[in-house]
């Protein structure tokens, strides 16, 4: 039985710690059975429970409306091209997988949620009635998915790792104007991220800029817990850390994960108030500095463009279900995903094939 929900924990002033399991149930280069993946996922849930975290988070994919079938490999994970990796994740975790894993997690007293990587993956998770949403930093301008999440009226957590300050402000204003409770996590998208790259004064900046929002920290540092504890000392109320049984497993995120013993020490340090003794000075930087996300190397790989989600006939009126937002933007000749509302309700000028990029001159 889950003890408290996300909003109650925040309202009570507690630090909400998320064990970000992500795709961590995939641990070998060789494909495994769905049963093995589910067993691995449950083992990670059990390990997370012992650390004292309140929630576990996964990542949910549907390659059809997320990743174009283009041969591109992200710099942070050389083990697979993106299309094959996303397709493998999609096939590894069906709706039945997520249903059983959610029920198991909640039976253990932990909050279960997942990062949808596209609208279709969000629809899958919504069918399970997940309690809140996390949006990865590469997707915070994906209005195809974002509009769906907003309509659920559930809390939304976003990260700043691939946006500038001005882009973040646009995203915050867009989500809050629709009435969705919002949490913003300061993040540097580097895997792993050396401690000198952090500018934790940004947490203070965000708390002052958005006094009505919950501010937290998504951390990719590896080693001791000094950086995330410094973030707590500076007022971060939500901490997200990748979580794995071993940093030696094969996969995209194991190398930047906390192990169970490290996570347990981290949670205990928060409960005991040990973070108050952390010297935050080495990690502060400058409060008004531009976000690293403004020039982050992963933006071209993870940002999305608008494409047609099916074959379209000339004269058809464009509706939401006809549009996908897909990556990698660097190889798609289409409008940025945040331009969805510039094409909805307009008519196609000619016939288009599924996955053709949508441009302003595609519609009238």
pLDDT tens column, 5-64: 999 999 999 999 999 999 999 999 999 999 999 999 999 999 999 999 999 999 999 999
Whether the pLDDT of residue 313 is over 80: the answer is yes
Q: pLDDT tens for residues 113-141?
A: 999 999 999 999 999 999 999 999 999 99
- The 3-class SS string of 96-156 reads HHHHHHHHHHHHCCCEEEEEECCHHHHHHHHCCCCCEEEECHHHCCCHHHHHHHHHCCCEE
Give me the helix-helix angle, 260-272 and 226-233, nearest 10°. Answer: 30
Phi-psi region of 109 (alpha: psi -120 to 50; beta: other; left: phi over 0): left
**Euclidean distance between the first and final Cα of the chain, in Å?**
53
Question: Does 3.20.20.70 match the CATH number of domain 6-295?
Answer: yes
Section 348-352 average pLDDT: 98
Mean pLDDT, the chain, rounded, equals: 94
CA distance linking residue 153 with residue 6, whole number of Å: 14
Section 304-332 average pLDDT: 97
Tell me what pLDDT residue 195 has: 77
Domain 304-362 is of which CATH architecture? Alpha-Beta Complex (3.90)
Tell me what pLDDT residue 1 has: 64
Tell me what pLDDT residue 79 has: 73
| 6-295 shares its CATH topology with 304-362 | no
pTM of the model: 0.95
Closest CA to 241 of 89, 66, 52: 52
Worst-scoring range by mean pLDDT, 67-81, 125-139, 171-185, 246-260?
Answer: 67-81
Which sequence spans correspond to the domains of the chain?
A: 6-295, 304-362
The residue with tokens 């390990």 is 47
Whether the pLDDT of residue 194 is over 90: the answer is no
Split at pLDDT 50, 70, 90, the class of 323 is: very high
């Amino acid at each position: 039985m889950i003890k408290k929900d996300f909003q109650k924990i925040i309202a009570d002033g507690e630090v909400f710690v998320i064990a970000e399991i992500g795709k961590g149930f995939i641990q070998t280069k060789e494909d495994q059975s769905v049963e093995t993946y589910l067993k691995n996922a449950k083992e990670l849930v059990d390990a997370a429970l012992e650390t004292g975290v309140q929630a576990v988070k996964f990542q949910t994919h549907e390659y059809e409306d997320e990743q174009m079938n283009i041969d591109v490999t992200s710099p942070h994970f050389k083990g697979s091209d993106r299309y094959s990796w996303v397709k493998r994740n999609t096939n590894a975790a069906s709706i039945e997988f997520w249903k059983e894993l959610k029920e198991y997690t909640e039976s253990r007293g932990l909050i279960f949620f997942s990062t949808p990587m596209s609208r279709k993956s969000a629809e899958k998770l919504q069918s399970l009635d997940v309690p809140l949403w996390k949006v990865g930093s590469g997707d915070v301008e994906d209005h195809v998915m974002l509009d769906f999440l907003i309509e659920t009226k559930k809390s939304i957590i976003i990260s700043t790792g691939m946006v500038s300050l001005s882009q973040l402000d646009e995203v915050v204003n867009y989500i809050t104007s629709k009435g969705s409770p919002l949490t913003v996590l300061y993040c540097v998208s580097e895997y792993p991220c050396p401690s000198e790259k952090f500018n934790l004064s940004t947490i203070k900046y965000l708390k002052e800029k958005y006094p009505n929002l919950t501010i937290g920290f998504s951390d990719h540092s590896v080693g001791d817990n000094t950086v995330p504890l410094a973030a707590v000392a500076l007022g971060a109320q939500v901490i997200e850390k990748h979580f794995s049984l071993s940093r030696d497993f094969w996969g995209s995120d194991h190398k930047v994960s906390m192990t169970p013993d490290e996570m347990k020490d981290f949670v205990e340090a928060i409960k005991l108030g040990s973070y108050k003794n952390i010297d935050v000075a080495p990690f502060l930087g400058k409060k008004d500095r531009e976000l690293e996300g403004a020039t982050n190397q992963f933006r071209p790989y993870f940002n999305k463009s608008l494409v047609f989600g099916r074959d379209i006939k000339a004269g058809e009126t464009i509706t939401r279900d006809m549009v996908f937002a897909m990556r990698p933007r660097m190889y798609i000749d289409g409008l940025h995903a945040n331009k969805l509302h510039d094409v909805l309700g307009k008519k196609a000028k000619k016939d288009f094939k599924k996955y053709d990029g949508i441009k302003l001159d595609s519609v009238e």
